[in-house]
């Protein structure tokens, strides 16, 4: 309390209120500060926005080019579409040059290289019919039509045991011959052929097989293929044997486009020297029987894939292709009961029920 009965605290408060311009106490100032600041900011913010708006009006707007009309198809896709731009000229596509056709000279070189490669793969290639003389080879070749060489080799031992010469076969009873060669198929027609050629050999050639093509093709049942088999393997006269295997591979290797055996023979004869004709035939036939099959070639196990235009027609997987190999290449017996000494495979078994003594023995005539 002061002198006049008024508290010192109230006097101090009255003094503070009565002094304009002096700062308020801390607590009061803390409460009033936010409102004073916000009140001071509002007019400043309004002034700033007004200045920005005036500045925008003062700056002239850039001219915006009018958008091109968008086709109806583009508008149908929905969504915002970009303005159409001028299409850039397309770059010319890289032209793929077709492979040049193989020249004849290149084909001849490739064909001869195939022959050399097959000579290394099949150095033991030989005729796969058992025979001891030209007469037996001639009869066996006629019987081999529309059947396998193995079936013929299992049939001829009994036939030649009973009829060893042309004279004996020409004088045979047809029904007995038919029964002996029945396993080869078409036995009636084949009986007429082999008995007819036996009679022709007896009557016209003194019981001997002629060594000329023009004489052989006149015999019953003998065509050019059979004649060249006999000439090449019994007389050493070169010839090309165009059987089904040779014909198939010659076309696959593009040595020819013909399906006529006579034309194929003539075209292939122009590719290879005459001295190669007989062994070429054996090698191609060996390859066709063991590797390059008709329905499913073993491409993955073929030694001449780099030279073959038909690679890929068969099985290319090496493991699967090896299972398709036949005869000695697949580990199975060959077709001959009496193969040459250099044959690496196993001999074929005789026909069931044939006595061992009836099987032909090897001869140096081959």
Could you tell me the two tokens for 109? 């070189």
**Is 263 one of the annotated active-site residues of the chain?**
no
Give the relative orientation of helices 244-252 and 277-290 as an angle to the nearest 10 degrees: 90
Distance CA 246, CA 27 (A): 118
Contact 348, 324 (CB under 8 A): no
Give the helix/strand (H/E) hosting 31.
helix 26-58
- Rounded-to-10 torsion of CA 322, 325, 361, 197: -170
Distance CA 92, CA 88 (A): 12
Q: Which of 130, 149, 243, 276 is catalytic?
A: 243
**How many residues does this entry show for the chain?**
366
Q: Which of 130, 149, 190, 225 is catalytic?
A: 225
Nearest residue to 157 (alpha-carbon basis) of 364, 359, 365, 362 = 359
Contact 290, 249 (CB under 8 A): no
Could you tell me the two tokens for 347? 């001999």
**Is 57 one of the annotated active-site residues of the chain?**
no
**CA distances (Å), origin 298, targets 4, 73, 91, 122, 290:** 133, 56, 45, 16, 9
Contact 255, 268 (CB under 8 A): yes
Distance CA 141, CA 244 (A): 14
Q: Cβ–Cβ contacts within 10 Å for residue 271, how many?
A: 19
Catalytic (active-site) positions:
225, 243
């Amino acid at each position: 309390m002061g002198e006049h009965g008024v508290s010192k605290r109230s006097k101090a408060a009255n003094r503070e209120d009565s002094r304009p311009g002096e700062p308020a106490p801390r607590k009061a100032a803390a409460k009033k500060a936010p409102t004073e600041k916000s009140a001071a900011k509002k007019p400043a913010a309004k002034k700033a926005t007004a200045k920005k708006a005036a500045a925008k009006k003062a700056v002239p707007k850039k001219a915006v080019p009018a958008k091109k009309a968008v086709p109806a198809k583009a508008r149908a896709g929905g969504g915002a579409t970009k303005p159409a731009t001028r299409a850039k000229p397309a770059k010319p596509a890289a032209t793929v040059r077709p492979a040049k056709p193989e020249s004849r000279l290149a084909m001849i070189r490739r064909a001869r290289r195939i022959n050399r490669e097959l000579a290394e793969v099949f150095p033991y290639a030989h005729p796969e019919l058992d025979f001891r003389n030209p007469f037996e080879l001639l009869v066996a070749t006629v019987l081999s039509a529309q059947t396998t060489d193995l079936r013929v080799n299992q049939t001829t031992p009994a036939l030649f045991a009973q009829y060893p010469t042309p004279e004996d076969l020409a004088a045979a009873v047809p029904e007995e011959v038919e029964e002996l060669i029945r396993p080869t198929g078409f036995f009636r027609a084949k009986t007429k052929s082999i008995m007819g050629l036996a009679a022709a050999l007896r009557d016209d050639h003194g019981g001997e097989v002629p060594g000329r093509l023009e004489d052989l093709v006149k015999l019953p049942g003998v065509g050019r293929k059979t004649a060249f088999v006999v000439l090449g393997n019994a007389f050493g006269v070169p010839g090309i044997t165009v059987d089904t295997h040779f014909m198939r591979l010659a076309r696959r290797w593009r040595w020819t486009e013909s399906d006529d055996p006579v034309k194929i023979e003539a075209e292939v004869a122009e590719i290879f020297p005459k001295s190669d004709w007989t062994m070429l035939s054996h090698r191609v036939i060996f390859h066709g029987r063991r590797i390059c099959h008709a329905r499913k070639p073993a491409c993955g196990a073929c030694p001449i894939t780099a030279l073959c235009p038909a690679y890929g027609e068969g099985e290319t997987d090496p493991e699967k292709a090896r299972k398709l190999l036949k005869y000695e290449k697949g580990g199975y017996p060959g077709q001959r009961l009496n193969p040459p000494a250099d044959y690496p495979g196993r001999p074929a078994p005789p026909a069931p029920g044939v006595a061992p003594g009836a099987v032909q023995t090897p001869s140096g005539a081959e």
